[in-house]
Structure 1
């Protein structure tokens, strides 16, 4: 009997105590960083690097003369409103509301290979009228739109993919999934 009890004691191991102070990443710090990222503010990465806050880009100098349509203060206000939304769904809805997706008008000559792009986009930025309450949409080029909001062109495509015809944006499902149980078939 003593042989059996000694062999069963060898198999038992003590669990390690959790020491939250030594953890690099805690739920609280992840939540705080997520909020800072969503608002475009300065934050620390998981590796401890300092990530700079989002900044508005320079205006463009195109044939549409976008730089004359908006003052620097108006562009800063648009930038702050966009990043003040605080979630991807709201930013996607902003992009969809301030752009139009349409079929492209023309394609290359007959001998050219078929391109994948079927749609083109028109971009608008909101401008507050002199009465201070109503807004009009001013047409701008893609570069001005992207630089004012400090986003990429891929975000615009993603926003239109998430949009359905009823005016609803799909929920951002990154990091969300059903709990999968591993069941053995033994």
Structure 2
């Protein structure tokens, strides 16, 4: 039967697609911009409606909230067009760190000029001044007007000021920046996996070689789980410590970076081979 040709040695020393010169892999190319969490994050930072990744609820889009109603009539002083312009400018930034830098330029901590209680009984040494940029000038507004125009909470502003401290530099958002290095296999552990995958008895396609000449296949009966079992035995034979053996999930992710199929394509047999197989099966079934 003219099936996939096999050999005791690996036909290609390194069957990763980048090494073979082909952009082909079982693993899909990641597009982080289309990940659900990144889509939700981008929409949230732009003030648009998004789906919360923690609760699954639809979070409403940002909007200018009600006027402050203070004696200064901040909304009337600015005008509806200016209010909308300020709101749009802030949410069009679309990036958390840049928005923090914006808030830092609009909110200033100033020393209290006039105290209403005795100095020794006052716990407040500074007050916050909120400004918005209209045309060529900065206009001072009350706290409620500032928060309602931008549709943000008091904590958002206070966190920026607290993390800035005396440095004068806007803080950088470090959430999710640790990179999950605590689960990342060490280089020597990864090399063990690469060495084992390269040692597998791979075979090339008989008839599909012209279409994908660098693609190799596992022998019949082999699966990724079976390969991992062989990897565990392979590590035991090399006296590799148990903590140096990567788990199946890490091995599977590494396996998919190689241009290896689980089984040769069905077109890898000809009509003559198929006929002989049928006749052989029929002969063995006869009493």
Per-residue CA deviation, residues 111-141 of structure 1 (Å, 9 max, x unaligned), is 74x53x432101111111xxxxxx2101111
The question of 1:109 aligning with 2:86 is answered: no
State the 4+ residue runs in structure 1 displaced beyond 4 angstroms.
164-167
The question of 1:70 aligning with 2:72 is answered: no
Query: Partners of 1:168 and 1:81 in 2: how far apart?
Result: 21
TM-score, normalised to structure 1, is: 0.70
Which residue of 157, 180, 183 maps to 2:182? 180
Q: Which has the higher helix share?
A: 2
Relative contact order (C-alpha < 8 Å, sep 6+): which is higher? 2
**Matched pairs, number:** 152
Query: Partners of 2:41 and 2:183 in 1: how far apart?
Result: 27
Q: Give the RMSD, CA atoms, in angstroms.
A: 2.8
Which residue of 35, 46, 60 maps to 1:39? 46
Per-residue CA deviation, residues 151-178 of structure 1 (Å, 9 max, x unaligned), is 1122221122233666532211112226
Which residue of 84, 98, 107 maps to 1:99? 107
Counterpart for residue 90 of structure 1: 98
Counterpart for residue 156 of structure 1: 157
Counterpart for residue 145 of structure 2: 144
SS of residue matched to 1:180: helix
Per-residue CA deviation, residues 42-96 of structure 1 (Å, 9 max, x unaligned), is 0112343211101111122212231321111210110011011112211111111
- Structure 1 stretches of 5 or more lacking a match? 1-26, 129-134
Pair 44,101 (structure 1): closer, same or farther in 2 beyond 3 Å:
same
State the 1:31 CA deviation. 1.2
TM-score, normalised to structure 2, is: 0.47
- Structure 2 stretches of 5 or more lacking a match? 1-33, 187-242, 244-287
SS of residue matched to 2:169: coil
SS of residue matched to 2:35: helix
